[in-house]
């Protein structure tokens, strides 16, 4: 008879269990209820323990490694493998366990330490080191404490590099020291198996002790004055040297031109002399007279011209220059100055007008007397 027949007991089935309900999700629920011995009726505890253990096993075997992390798998405490970012499965604990390491985080170490330089001066140097984990296995098992090992190695390396340099180098040229210190520190970390990678090492500041700071300030001021004077001298040299080179090139060019002109002139004179020799051998008198006329013409063309007349008056006649330019009109003499008026007087009357002086006889008559 059906369990819901009127007049029957609807409290449950024949075995005392609740009646099964029909529906899409009731079948699975009924199966679980049957497997665990019923809900709230003191079911099988072992089945509940098995369910809890299964859930724990699933969550314990599943490992999710983020993008910034690396997972180090330990099997019974010994290194097994490294898990890259992503989901992974492993053996349950205590067989395997995972230690996650942040492999992309940049760690920083900064400190100011007193260091002795090569010239026996104490200087306080500020150290700034940035590093990250490069090898998770070596970082966990290569040394006992990789971070503390980096601190000790950084101090040792900086002291070594500064101890080999003078005070002036430490105060004014720390970039080269920082580069060499970074390379030496990376070698030391690799030798110590720390699994760390130094991304940056800087020496941002270096200062003397407070007791001698005024003297060092004076030294720095003098160094700055020296650098300023050197810069000014280089600027002056950069301005003067090109001008001197240009002037030297101009003088050299003028000299080369003069040399070429002198050689050409000498060659032309030699050829002209050879032609004159041939002409002189052909017509000596004509050639001699022509040479004399050319010489006189050249001499007169380069000197002033003075014309003398019978009245013993010297007349300066300005001539045009050699280039052919005309003389200015103000220098041209008037016609009266060029040809002054002379009164015509009879020589015999002039002799009579001069008392005490006899007339001058003719030449032959004087000889006959």
What is residue 5's DSSP assignment?
Answer: S
What is the reported pTM? Answer: 0.50
199 and 119 within one domain: yes
144 and 165 within one domain: yes
Of the candidates 208, 233, 255, which is a domain's last residue?
208
Of the candidates 104, 135, 155, which is a domain's last residue?
104
Asked whether residue 266 is assigned to any structural domain, the reply reads no
Task: For residue 179, give the 3-state DSSP assignment.
Answer: helix
Asked whether residue 268 is assigned to any structural domain, the reply reads no
Asked whether residue 323 is assigned to any structural domain, the reply reads no
Asked whether residue 68 is assigned to any structural domain, the reply reads yes
Asked whether residue 367 is assigned to any structural domain, the reply reads no
CA-to-CA separations, 358 to 131, 348, 349, 352, 361, in angstroms, rounded: 138, 10, 12, 8, 9
Of the candidates 104, 133, 157, which is a domain's last residue?
104
Q: Are 3 and 10 in contact (CB under 8 A)?
A: yes
Question: Residue 312: which region, alpha, beta or left (left: phi > 0; alpha: psi -120 to 50)?
Answer: left
User: How far is 281 from 290, CA to CA, in rounded Å?
Assistant: 14
pLDDT in tens, the chain (369 residues): 444 554 444 444 445 555 555 555 455 556 655 655 554 444 467 777 777 777 887 787 888 888 888 888 898 888 888 888 888 888 888 888 888 999 889 999 999 999 999 988 889 999 999 999 999 999 999 888 999 999 999 999 999 999 999 888 888 888 899 999 999 999 999 999 999 999 999 999 988 888 888 887 887 789 889 999 999 999 999 999 999 999 999 999 999 999 999 999 999 999 988 988 888 888 889 888 988 998 888 888 887 766 665 656 555 556 555 544 444 444 444 444 444 444 444 444 444 444 444 445 444 344 333
Asked whether residue 88 is assigned to any structural domain, the reply reads yes
Q: Are 156 and 109 in contact (CB under 8 A)?
A: no
117 and 100 within one domain: no
User: How far is 80 from 230, CA to CA, in rounded Å?
Assistant: 64
203 and 149 within one domain: yes
Specify the pLDDT at position 126.
Answer: 94
Q: Which residues contact 109 (CB under 8 A, 6 or more apart)?
A: 127, 128, 129, 130, 131, 147, 150, 151, 154
Asked whether residue 275 is assigned to any structural domain, the reply reads no
Asked whether residue 286 is assigned to any structural domain, the reply reads no
- What is the Cα gyration radius of the chain? 62
Question: What is the tally of structural domains in the chain?
Answer: 2
Tokens linked to 329: 């009109």
The domain that contains 162 carries what CATH number?
A: 3.30.479.30
Q: Could you give phi then psi for residue 116, rounded to 5 degrees? A: -95, 125
55 and 129 within one domain: no
131 and 49 within one domain: no
**Residues of the domain holding 196:** 112-208
Task: For residue 152, give the 3-state DSSP assignment.
Answer: helix
């Amino acid at each position: 008879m059906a369990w819901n027949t009127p007049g029957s007991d609807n409290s449950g089935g024949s075995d005392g269990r609740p009646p099964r309900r029909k529906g899409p999700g009731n079948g699975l629920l009924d199966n679980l209820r049957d497997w665990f011995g019923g809900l709230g009726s003191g079911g099988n505890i072992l089945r509940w323990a098995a369910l809890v253990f299964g859930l724990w096993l699933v969550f314990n075997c599943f490992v999710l490694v983020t993008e910034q992390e690396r997972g180090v798998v330990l099997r019974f405490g010994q290194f097994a493998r490294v898990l890259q970012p992503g989901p992974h499965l492993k053996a349950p604990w205590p067989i395997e366990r995972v230690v996650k390491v942040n492999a992309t985080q940049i760690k920083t170490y900064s400190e100011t330490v007193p260091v002795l330089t090569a010239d026996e001066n104490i200087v306080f140097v500020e150290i700034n080191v940035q590093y990250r984990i490069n090898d998770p296995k070596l970082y966990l098992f290569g040394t006992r404490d990789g971070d503390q090992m980096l601190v000790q190695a950084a101090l040792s390396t900086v002291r070594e590099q500064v101890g080999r340099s003078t005070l002036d180098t430490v105060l004014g040229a720390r970039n080269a020291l920082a580069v060499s210190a970074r390379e030496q520190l990376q070698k030391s970390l690799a030798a110590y198996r720390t699994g760390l990678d130094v991304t940056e090492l800087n020496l941002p500041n270096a200062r003397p002790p407070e007791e001698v700071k005024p003297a060092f300030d004076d030294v720095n001021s003098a160094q700055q004055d020296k650098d300023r004077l050197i810069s000014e001298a280089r600027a002056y040299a950069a301005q003067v040297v090109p001008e001197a080179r240009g002037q030297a090139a101009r003088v050299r060019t003028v000299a080369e031109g003069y040399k070429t002109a002198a050689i050409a002139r000498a060659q032309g004179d030699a050829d002209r002399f050879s032609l004159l020799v041939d002409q002189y051998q052909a017509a000596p008198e004509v050639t001699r007279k022509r040479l004399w006329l050319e010489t006189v013409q050249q001499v007169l063309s380069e000197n002033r011209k003075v014309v003398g007349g019978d009245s013993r008056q010297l007349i300066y006649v300005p001539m045009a220059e050699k280039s052919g330019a005309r003389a200015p009109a103000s220098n041209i003499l008037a016609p009266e100055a060029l040809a002054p008026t002379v009164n015509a007087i009879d020589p015999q009357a002039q002799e009579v007008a001069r008392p005490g002086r006899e007339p001058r006889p003719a030449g032959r008559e004087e000889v006959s007397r």
